[in-house]
Amino acid sequence: MSIHTPKIDKKVTLSTIAKMKGVEPITMVTAYDALFAKLFDGEVEMILVGDSLNMSFLGKEDTLSATMDQMIYHTQAVCNGATLPMVVLDMPFGTYTSPEVAVKNATRAYLETAAQAVKIEGGKERAHIVEALTQNSIAVLGHIGLMPQFLRSDGGYKIRGKAQADIDTLVEDAITLEKAGVFAIVVEGVKPEAAEAITKAVSVPTIGIGAGNSTDGQVLVWSDMFGFFEDFKPKFVKQYCNGAKEVREGLEQYRNEVKARQFPSSEYTY
Ligand code: KIV
């Protein structure tokens, strides 16, 4: 008998997410494998198979070299583990450079995984890509503000929305993306005033990360929030448990017991 009671008991769809704006904050976390996706099943409305897996899973420096093959492989794993959350596949850098390229790659995501949507980074300069995808029945989650895939062209990870002119640009980006058909927008690394202005300007939900408390939902990377990623901790990350410490303690106990021939005791022996 399971002692765990899931908080969500029906499959989350695009219409579930649309109806949550202004009613109840949306929870989203990243996952890259079936085991963690299963832990998150019934607990959060959305799971993002983020290209952050390039750091959190593969140990690379940034997200840039993630490939469509990797995203598909990890999304398949996540879909095997999670039955209820909406699963979103993050389109990696270079896979949506034109409407044709984007439709080809996103169609592959739909054909080879059970993801319900894809995410692409970019504001109004990427609206034509969003339009092409949605016209081909592919649901799109937008992503504006700090966009990790454009790290090199933007000259680093820069917090956005510090000046009114930039807030206006971000609001215009969000409105244009909504018109192009996104069902929700991730707003990353912006000042809270900017996130609030964006959230008020659009009728689709905004999902914040490092964007304060006024967005319609929040997303965090699982390895950050559970204390497994130790290279650095951005200011916006709250660690809800210390995963790395727990694993180290468990490992140390295992090592000591093996060395002392305490494990396996008769309890763990056939
Ligand atoms: O790749 C990712 O995990 C993301 C989130 C930070 C939104 O894009």
Whose CA is closest to atom 1 on ligand 1?
50
Residue 6 lies in a domain: no
* Averaged pLDDT of the chain: 96
Same domain, 173 and 255: no
The whole-number pLDDT of residue 14 equals 98
Q: Which of 51, 149, 150 to mutate to test the pocket of ligand 1 (most atoms within 8 A of CB)?
A: 51
The whole-number pLDDT of residue 231 equals 82
Residue 3 lies in a domain: no
pLDDT in tens, 84-124: 999 999 999 999 999 999 999 999 999 999 999 999 999 99
pLDDT in tens, 188-197: 999 999 999 9
Of residues 50 and 230, more confidently modeled: 50
Domain containing 168: what range? 14-239
Same domain, 187 and 163: yes
Q: Which tokens belong to 49?
A: 């198979």
The whole-number pLDDT of residue 232 equals 80
Residue 191 lies in a domain: yes
Binding pocket residue ranges, ligand 1, CB within 6 Å: 30, 48, 50-52, 90, 186, 188, 209, 219, 221
11 DSSP assignment: -
Residue 79 lies in a domain: yes
135 pLDDT tier (thresholds 50, 70, 90): very high
CA pseudo-torsion sign 14, 17, 21, 26: negative
Given the residues 24, 188, 230, 252, the one annotated as active site: 188
Residue 5 lies in a domain: no
Q: Which tokens belong to 65?
A: 């070299």
User: Is the pLDDT confidence value at 1 over 60?
Assistant: no
**Average pLDDT, integer, range 22-39:** 98
> What's the pTM value of the predicted model, to 2 decimals?
0.96
Q: Which of 90, 146, 226 to mutate to test the pocket of ligand 1 (most atoms within 8 A of CB)?
A: 90
Residue 66 lies in a domain: yes
The whole-number pLDDT of residue 91 equals 98
Same domain, 179 and 248: no
User: Is the pLDDT confidence value at 30 over 60?
Assistant: yes
**Average pLDDT, integer, range 199-216:** 98
User: Is the pLDDT confidence value at 2 over 80?
Assistant: no
Same domain, 179 and 247: no
How many angstroms separate the alpha carbon of residue 207 from the centre of ligand 1?
11
Would you say 21 and 55 are in contact if contact means Cβ atoms under 8 Å apart?
no
**Which ligand 1 atom lies nearest to the CA of residue 52?**
1
188 is an active site residue = yes
Same domain, 149 and 265: no
Q: Which of helix, strand or coil describes residue 43? A: coil
Same domain, 268 and 148: no
Q: Which of helix, strand or coil describes residue 105? A: helix
Same domain, 228 and 264: no
Residue 57 lies in a domain: yes
The whole-number pLDDT of residue 5 equals 79
Q: Tell me the C-alpha distance between 112 and 136, whole Å.
A: 16
Q: Which residues have a Cβ under 8 Å from the Cβ of 171 and sit 6 or more positions away?
A: 194, 197, 198, 201
Same domain, 56 and 167: yes
Whose CA is closest to atom 2 on ligand 1?
50
Query: Can you list the positions of beta strands (E) in 199-244?
Result: 206-209, 217-220
How many angstroms separate the alpha carbon of residue 199 from the centre of ligand 1?
19
Same domain, 85 and 179: yes
Same domain, 214 and 85: yes
Residue 7 lies in a domain: no
Overall domain count for the chain: 2
pLDDT in tens, 56-79: 999 999 999 999 999 999 999 999
Same domain, 64 and 194: yes
Would you say 96 and 138 are in contact if contact means Cβ atoms under 8 Å apart?
no
CATH number of the domain bearing residue 30: 3.20.20.60
Same domain, 108 and 79: yes
Q: Which of 119, 141, 215 to mutate to test the pocket of ligand 1 (most atoms within 8 A of CB)?
A: 119
Q: Tell me the C-alpha distance between 221 and 223, whole Å.
A: 6
The whole-number pLDDT of residue 3 equals 66
